[in-house]
Amino acid sequence: MNKQESDILKTLITEPFINQRILSEESRHSLGVVNRSIKELIKTGYLDEEVQLTQKATDEFKLNAPKRAIILAAGFGMRMVPINTEVSKGLLEVNGETLIERLIKQLQEVDIKEIYIIVGFMKEQYEYLIDEYEVELVVNKEYASKNNLHSLKLVADRLENAYVIPCDIWCDLNPFRRHELYSWYMVSDLVDSESDVRVNRKMELVSTTGNVGGNSMVGICYLVKKDANVVKERIETLCQNRKYDNSFWEKALYNKNKMIVDARVVHATDVVEINTYEQLRELDSASNQLKTDAIEVICKNFDVKAEEISQITVLKKGMTNRSFLFSCKNKKYIMRIPGEGTDQLINRKEEAAVYHIIASKNICDNIAYINPENGYKITEFMEGARVCDPLNVDDLKKCMAKLRAFHQLKLSVDHTFDIFAQIDFYESLWNGNSSVYKDYQKTKENVLSLRDYIDSHVQEKVLTHIDAVPDNFLFTEETSGKEDIRLIDWEYAGMQDPHVDIAMFCIYALYNKRQVDRLINIYFENKCDKETRLKIYCYIAACGLLWSNWCEYKRNLGVEFGEYSLRQYRFAKDYYKFFKEEMIENESR
């Protein structure tokens, strides 16, 4: 039977037949469709002459009846800043009820008791649901580095006759049913410029083309057995290819430019996906989650009410922090919220002291607020700014000139950034775990052996940025129209040999040796002596191990940096080798 016939049959199992007109109203199909469908259903044996369900229809309902549900709740919910720093998105409250509890109750109302919740970020917050609702938690350990395609892979063998549900959905009316006959994917009648699909006249979900908007994707899906098997196979295939690490699970629903399941269209007011702080505020202005520390800080600092804060938008997740953009009093700002474990990595009082020293030097971004206790920081947003392109020589010359000028100020603070102490410190945060690298101890010994050469060739120590990487050089345009460069993110800054900043730039940019030597020549304007160059090689090796250890610590927290972490370890090994080779060559002359 086709979709229209299935809809008529589903209506008849809940509402006994009275006449075609009432059936048309209940099923939301035209009178003509109802009449044709009834004739075909009688002909194929699903209805008898009195328009009553036959045993064949009953068997079909039993075959396709919903048995279980899978709720996806592993992700960061990055667009939900600043709320996502305090609570997982599935536990947002609307009208005093958490999103995920409402979904569970609606599922249980239609006798679906087998419920799996895929968790990852803040997984502990969902633990109480096991006792409260007898659900099963499935942990996605890769939630930080892979999207929900990989979450669904963990339960791919349980997709038959199952609802797949995002956790950040608020449903006014219960969208789940005791009876289903075919697979579907839910979209709303709202036009969304970011949607990948639209509903065609056949109620199929087809890919959008060009810049044409589609139907807003709600994300709830139902899969009968035959389609579940196809999706399971597709998920397993896609997950074998790293190309799809950041893909949504819906990728497995597509066959070329069309989904393999039908559309189920709902009114935009009936089902709401809550992606942002402002969407939650619009739905429930009294929600407890709106009263976050970050919002309260903004209100107090700018003397405004919460409703005067608008255009809250997540920025790209950094390696250490989460940041979001917001507007207040007709001006844009960026607020930084420290990420997981940063309280152990960064001394916020020392960071605040650095900002105090450089505040009037036209070096950094403009600070509107900084808290030396918890690391919350608000800076003015620089419209139209861009970061340094580490492959653009003109950019490099300008950035190195800015860096050199900063070093020449010879500013001073009361704390030092000790590279070798930090290497040991980050290692201590592994909580007794050994390194993932088999030759770590040998590599560390080699790097530590470079310390004597470094110490004997340090001329002076001044305030050094430490994290002077390409992404932290912002090219801006002043009101006068003149280009300027601001150096941002001073979390690690302290007293050190300023040449450490050159090494840090190189390793973050993942430079090869030729590029490293080019940057050294640019900074020193082609006047770098051999001993200093070798010292910078030593810094590259030491800093490579430093950030490799840092990455291993973050990995234990569930944060993965892929190629970056591997390359840092290679810098430690390669530049120790380059240094030794150069020393041997010098000695042989």
442-460: pLDDT as tens digits: 999 999 999 999 999 999 9
Q: Residue 526: pLDDT band by 50, 70, 90 thresholds?
A: very high
Structure tokens at 458: 């340090």
Distance CA 510, CA 505 (A): 9
Each residue of 133-174: pLDDT tens digit? Answer: 999 999 998 887 788 999 999 999 999 999 999 998 999 899
Mean pLDDT (whole number) for 378-397: 93
- Stronger pLDDT, 453 or 277, i.e. the higher one: 453
SS (H, E, C) 66-123: CCEEEEEECCCCHHHCCHHHCCCHHHCEECCEEHHHHHHHHHHHCCCCEEEEEEECEH
Percent of the chain with pLDDT over 70: 93
Percent of the chain with pLDDT over 90: 58
Q: What share of the chain is helix, strand, coil (3-state, %, to 5)?
A: 45, 20, 35
Structure tokens at 17: 């037949």
Q: Is residue 348 pLDDT above 80, yes or no?
A: yes
CATH architecture of structural domain 307-381: 2-Layer Sandwich (3.30)
CATH architecture of structural domain 3-63: Orthogonal Bundle (1.10)
Q: Which residues are paired to 197 by β-bridges?
A: 207
Model pLDDT, residue 343: 66
Nearest to 499 by CA among 468, 478, 530, 472: 468
Model pLDDT, residue 77: 66
Each residue of 481-493: pLDDT tens digit? Answer: 678 999 999 999 9
Distance CA 375, CA 371 (A): 5
Q: Is residue 337 pLDDT above 50, yes or no?
A: yes
Q: What phi, psi does 434 have (nearest 5°)?
A: -85, 165
Q: Residue 479: pLDDT band by 50, 70, 90 thresholds?
A: low
Q: Is 324 exposed, middle or buried (0-12, 13-18, 19+ CB in 10 A)?
A: buried
Model pLDDT, residue 318: 47
Mean pLDDT (whole number) for 531-542: 97
How high does pLDDT run on average in the chain? 89
Mean pLDDT (whole number) for 363-388: 90
Structure tokens at 373: 């206790």
**CATH class, range 67-273:** alpha beta
Nearest to 218 by CA among 246, 281, 176: 176
Q: Is 480 exposed, middle or buried (0-12, 13-18, 19+ CB in 10 A)?
A: exposed
Each residue of 281-299: pLDDT tens digit? Answer: 777 666 666 667 788 889 8
Q: What is the DSSP letter of 308?
A: G
Q: What is the DSSP letter of 438?
A: T
Q: Residue 319: pLDDT band by 50, 70, 90 thresholds?
A: very low
Distance CA 369, CA 365 (A): 12
Q: Residue 354: pLDDT band by 50, 70, 90 thresholds?
A: very high
Distance CA 322, CA 82 (A): 9
Q: Is residue 320 pLDDT above 60, yes or no?
A: no
Structure tokens at 78: 């990055």
Structure tokens at 164: 């797949």
Distance CA 365, CA 386 (A): 13
Distance CA 365, CA 474 (A): 9
Q: Residue 499: pLDDT band by 50, 70, 90 thresholds?
A: very high
The residues of the chain that CATH labels 3.90.550.10 are 67-273
Instruction: State the pTM of this model.
Output: 0.65
β-pairing, 331-338 vs 321-328, is antiparallel
Mean pLDDT (whole number) for 553-558: 76
Nearest to 555 by CA among 541, 566, 539: 566
Distance CA 136, CA 145 (A): 23
The residues of the chain that CATH labels 3.90.1200.10 are 384-588
Return the CATH fold of 384-588: Aminoglycoside 3'-phosphotransferase; Chain: A, domain 2 (3.90.1200)
Distance CA 335, CA 380 (A): 9
Each residue of 29-88: pLDDT tens digit? Answer: 889 988 999 999 999 999 999 889 999 999 999 999 999 999 999 887 656 666 666 678
The residues of the chain that CATH labels 1.10.10 are 3-63
Model pLDDT, residue 203: 84
- Stronger pLDDT, 462 or 279, i.e. the higher one: 462
Each residue of 84-101: pLDDT tens digit? Answer: 666 788 888 888 889 999
CB 185 within 8 A of CB 252: no
Mean pLDDT is highest, among 311-320, 341-350, 518-527, for 518-527
Q: Residue 567: pLDDT band by 50, 70, 90 thresholds?
A: very high
β-pairing, 377-380 vs 331-338, is antiparallel
